[in-house]
Structure 1
Amino acid sequence: MEAHLLRFVERVRCLSDNDSSGDQLISTEFNLIRQKSASLKEDYGLTTAVGEIKENAKKNRYRDILPYDQTRVCLAPTPSEYESDYINASFIKGAAKNRMYIATQGPLSSTVVDFWRMIWQHNVKVIIMACREFEMGKVIFIFHLFSFQVNTRHLSTQETRKVSHFQYTAWPDHGIPDMPDGILGMMELARQKQGNQTDPVVIHCSAGCGRTGVICAVDYVNDLLLMEQIQEDFNIFDLVLELRRQRPSAVQTKEQYAFVFHTVAQMFQKVLEMKNKNTETSASLYINAVPAKTSLKSGSLGNHTDPNFHISNPVCGCLRCCRCGPTMHQSSQAAHSKMWKINFLFSVNELLCSLTSQYNLIQTTLVYKLAM
C-alpha cells in the first residue's frame, strides 16, 4: 500500500509544481465530474419527487439542492403536527461497513425541530458543522434545544443521551480553509468521540453538499487508510462521483475538489512518515504539495486570533451572542423570542464548551420525554 500512497503524493506534488498546467488538470477533472453528475439521475434512476412536493419545498434551503428519494433520510412518524417524514438530508455510505454519514443542510427556523428529530431517531452521537451560524447576512444554523413532551396512553419514560457538536469556524462558503491541518485535527477528535458506534455521523454546512462533501470524502479516505485498503487505482475522481450519486453536488467547487487532493496527500504523507520513521526525507517530499495559491484569504472568517472567538453566558438563547455585533444581537434576540413559542424535542441539561482557534466542541445532554 505504501507505493500507492507515495504515487498519489507524488502526483499532487507534480500538480503543484506545474502550477498553471496542474491547475488546468484539476479543472478538467472537475468539469468532467460536473458533466457526469448531470447524467447520474438517468443512469441510476435517481429522483427528487418528495423534495419537490409543495408542502416540502419550503423545507429546502436551496431549490436546486434536493435529496434523492433513493438515499434521503426519512423521519419516523410523530404526532400529527409533525406528520411529514421529509428532511433535506441524505445517507452516504462510508468506506467501512459500519460507517455511515448523514449529509444535510443547515436547519431553517421551520425545520430545526425536524433536525433534532433526526438526531434523536438515528441515535446520532456526533454532529460536524462546517460553517458559522451567520454567513453573508444569512442565518445558517439555529442551535436551540427546548423541552418537548409527547402524550401517550401506555408509555412513560425519560431517556438521556449525549451529543458532541463540532463546529469548524474558518471555512467560508464555496471556499477552502487556508490549510488542511485544522480540518484533520477536528475530524480526529470527532472520530474519537464517535468511537466504535455504528450510528451515523451528521455533517452539514449551508446546503449540505460542498463543504459537507469534502469532509465525507476525507473521512472516507481515512477509513480506507485505517483498513489499509488504498488500492493501486485509488483516485479522488471516482470517490467524488460516488458521493454525488448519494448527495447532489457533493464537493461543489473546483477549489474544494483541489482541497480534497491536498488534504488526502497530507494524510498519506503522515502515514509514510510514520512507516519510514524518517521525517526529514518524507517531509521534503511534501514541502510543495499544498502551494500558497490554494490558500484562501477569507478575511474575518479565517482570522484565527479573532477576539470574538469566545463563548460567554448567552443572554438571548443564542449560544454565541458574544460574537454577534449590537445590530445582529438585537435582531437575533427578537428572532429567538419568537422561537420560544415552538415546542422542541429536547432540553439542555448540560453544556460544556471547549474552544480552539479553528473549531468548537459543544457537548450537550439531550432529554427526550414521553409522558402519560
Structure 2
Amino acid sequence: MTNYSTDVGLDGCLSIPCTESSHTGLYQLVAVNPAGRAERQVTLFVRKEEQPTQETTENNQVLLSPVPVLDFEEYVASGHANDNAIFQEQFDVVDEDPDHPMTIGTDPDAILLNRFANITVYDDNRIVLMPIDGNSDCQRDYINACYIDGYKHRKKFIATQGPLVNTVVDFWRLVWQERPPTIVMLTDVKEKKKVKCYKYWPDSGTRSFGPFRVTITEQQRLVDYTTRNLLLELKGRSERALSVTQLHYMAWPEHGVPTEPTSLLAFHRRLKKLHQFPKRPILVHCSAGVGRTGTLITIDCVLEQLLKERLVDVAGTIKLLRTQRMKMVQNLEQFIFIHDAILEELVCGETQIDASGFTAAMDDLSQQHILTNTTGFEKQFKALSKLSPKPQNKPRKSNWRKNRNSVFLQSLDGRATELENEVVFVNGYKQKKAFIVAQSPSHSSARDFWKMVYDMKCGVIVNLNTLEEITEEVFHQYWPDESGVMKVGEFLVDSLQVEQLPSFCIRSFSVVPEKVSNRLAVFSHNCVRPPSQGRPSKYSRSTSPAGLRMDSAPTSNPSSTPSLR
C-alpha cells in the first residue's frame, strides 16, 4: 500500500487499476499510522484497466458516499423525489456483482442443490460441509451458504437459501457444524400456493431428517412473527443436543416489501435482544437467501454503523455484502425499503416499554423539556406525523389492490366491492385483522355497514360516538330503538337487550338478511358520556378494555371474526 499512499484523494478514495478481474471490487480499508494513534477509513476501488476510469469512478463515489445522520432525513426525501430517480441511479451502481469465481456451485452435481440456477456461491466464501461418518446422505461438501460479515464482527451471519427436499439434511448438517444459536427465517413455507422453503421443523413433538432428530419444545406466535425453540440431535451420537431458537418473520408479502418497516424493525430488535453476544453466527435465510436476507443484514450493519460513526452508508454496505454473496439486496424496492427503515429507526427509535417500568416511563413522557417546551408524548406524536402517509397519498379506489388492508363486500355475483367510506383491517397483538376500523355510517351507507358486519361476522361493535352527537353530518343512528326492529336494505336488525352502565351501554342485536335463516348475534358498546377535550374525563373500570366484554361474541373461530371500531 505504501506505493499508492500519495494517491489517496481528499475524499478518502484510492483507485488502483489491475489486470485480473478476480481482484476487482470495492473494499473498505483502515489506515493506521506507525504509532497506532490515528486511523482513517479508506474506500478502495479496484478496476480492470479497460474499465471506465477517473470520471466514472468519481461519479459513482458521489452516489455511494456515506451520509451524516443529521442529513439523512433530507437525503431520503431527495431520493424519493422524481419517482425515486436518485435511488434508481444509486441502485444501478450497486446492482453489479463482483466477478468472483463460482465454479463449484455451477458444477452439474451441485447445481441441482441450488434453489435457483443463477444464484450460487463464490468459491472463496462458501461454507464447506464436513462429512459425517456412517451416514451415506452426509458425505457431500456443497451447500448454498456463505459467511457474511457484520459491521465489526467477522462471520456474524450465515446467509443461505431455504432448504429444498433434497437439501434439508444438508441444512441441518450446516446447523450442527456451525452451531448458530439463532435461525432467522424471512419467508413462509408457501406463498400463494408456491413453495418457498421446505418445512424443516415439526409442528409438534419430534421429526427426523436423515440422521438428525428435531424436537420443538416451545412456540409463541405473534401477529408478524413466530418464535420456536428447537432441539437438534444427531442419532447414535453422544454429543449433547443443540438448542436453537428460530425467529420466523411472516409479514413479508410474496411480491415487493412490507408496507411499512415498523414490524421488521421490531423483529430486528427482538433478534438483537436474543442474540446479544455473537460468538456464533446468526443463520439467516429466505427462499433464495439473497433478497430479503440481504435486506435484513444490511439494516443490521447500517444501524450498527450509524451508532458508531454517525454515518449511514446503505449503498457501500451492499457493495461489500456482494463481495461475499451474490445479489444481496435483489431489487430497487428492497434498496428503497432499507432507507425508509433506517429513517424510521432514526426518527422514532425504540418505543417499547417494559411493563415493570411503565409508570415511570409515563411520568417521563409527561415532563416538558426546558428547551423545546414540549413533552415526550408531543415529540413522539410529531415523529409519527413525519412517517405517516398524508391523506392525499393514500391509494385511490382505482388503485385499491395496493391497499392490502382494505375491506371489501362480496356481492351475489361473486365480485368484490370496496366500501364507500374509509374502512380498513387493523392487526392485533397476536392476530391478523383482529379489528375493522370504520367511519360512522351515514344514512346512505348504513346498508353497506350492516352487510360488512354480517359478511365479516363481527361479533362486537364499539361505537365511540355519543347519542348527543346524532346528526346527519356527524353520526347516524344505524340501530333500532329498544325492543324494536329496523330494516336497513335487505337486513333486519332486531334489538334484543340493552344494559345501561355508568359510561357506556351494551346493546345486543340479531342481524339477518331477508329470506336467510342464519342470524348473527352482535354486541354493540356505545359511549354515553361525551369526551372532555377529545378524551374520556377519567379512566375507570367501567371504561376499561376488559369492561367492553370483547369475548362476548358467540364464535367458534375468533381469528376469523374481527371486532369493529
For normalisation by structure 2, the TM-score amounts to: 0.46
- Counterpart of 1:180 (choices 256, 261, 275) is 261
Contact residue 150 and residue 301 of structure 2 kept, 8 A: yes
| Unpaired stretches in structure 1, ≥5 consecutive residues | 310-356, 358-372
Shift of 1:13: 3.3
- Counterpart of 2:309 (choices 219, 222, 229) is 229
- Determine helix, strand or coil for the equivalent of 1:103: strand
Contact residue 272 and residue 282 of structure 1 kept, 8 A: no
Letter in 2 for 1:146: S
* Equivalence for 1:190: 271
Change (3 A) 1:162 1:225: farther
- Counterpart of 1:146 (choices 208, 211, 217) is 208
Matches within 5 A, 1:9-158: 9-16=73-80, 18=81, 21=82, 23-34=84-95, 37-38=96-97, 40-41=98-99, 46-78=100-132, 79-97=135-153, 100-141=156-197, 142-144=199-201, 145-146=207-208, 149=211, 157-158=238-239
Shift of 1:169: 0.9
- Determine helix, strand or coil for the equivalent of 1:70: helix
Letter in 2 for 1:230: R
- Determine helix, strand or coil for the equivalent of 1:188: helix
* Equivalence for 1:322: none
The count of aligned residue pairs is: 291
Between the aligned partners of 1:308 and 1:269, the Cα distance in structure 2 is 27
Tell me whether 1:262 sits opposite 2:340 in the alignment: yes
| Unpaired stretches in structure 2, ≥5 consecutive residues | 1-66, 202-206, 213-235, 352-364, 396-401, 407-424, 433-558, 560-565
Tell me whether 1:245 sits opposite 2:323 in the alignment: yes
- Determine helix, strand or coil for the equivalent of 1:197: coil
- Determine helix, strand or coil for the equivalent of 1:259: helix
Between the aligned partners of 1:109 and 1:67, the Cα distance in structure 2 is 19
How far does the alpha carbon of each residue in 1:219-256 deviate from its partner, in whole angstroms, 9 at most, with x for none? Answer: 11222244x2233xx42111111111211111111111
Letter in 2 for 1:57: I
- Determine helix, strand or coil for the equivalent of 2:123: coil
Between the aligned partners of 2:239 and 2:394, the Cα distance in structure 1 is 50
Contact residue 14 and residue 22 of structure 1 kept, 8 A: no
How far does the alpha carbon of each residue in 1:200-220 deviate from its partner, in whole angstroms, 9 at most, with x for none? Answer: 111111111111110000111
- Deviating more after overlay: 132-141 vs 271-280: 271-280
Between the aligned partners of 1:272 and 1:122, the Cα distance in structure 2 is 32
* Equivalence for 2:72: 8
Higher normalized strand content (fraction of residues): 2
Shift of 1:81: 3.1
Shift of 1:287: 3.9
Shift of 1:298: 5.1
For normalisation by structure 1, the TM-score amounts to: 0.69
Shift of 1:8: 1.1
- Determine helix, strand or coil for the equivalent of 1:128: strand
* Equivalence for 2:241: 160
Q: Percent identity?
A: 28
Relative contact order higher in (CA < 8 Å, ≥ 6 apart): 1
- Deviating more after overlay: 252-261 vs 214-223: 214-223
Alpha-carbon RMSD across the aligned residues, in angstroms, is: 3.5
Between the aligned partners of 1:100 and 1:110, the Cα distance in structure 2 is 27
Change (3 A) 1:146 1:185: same
Letter in 2 for 1:66: T
How far does the alpha carbon of each residue in 1:89-125 deviate from its partner, in whole angstroms, 9 at most, with x for none? Answer: 1111001225611111110000001111111111111
Contact residue 169 and residue 210 of structure 2 kept, 8 A: no
Contact residue 162 and residue 287 of structure 2 kept, 8 A: yes
Change (3 A) 1:90 1:256: same
* Equivalence for 1:320: none
* Equivalence for 2:301: 220
Change (3 A) 1:148 1:137: closer
Letter in 2 for 1:24: A
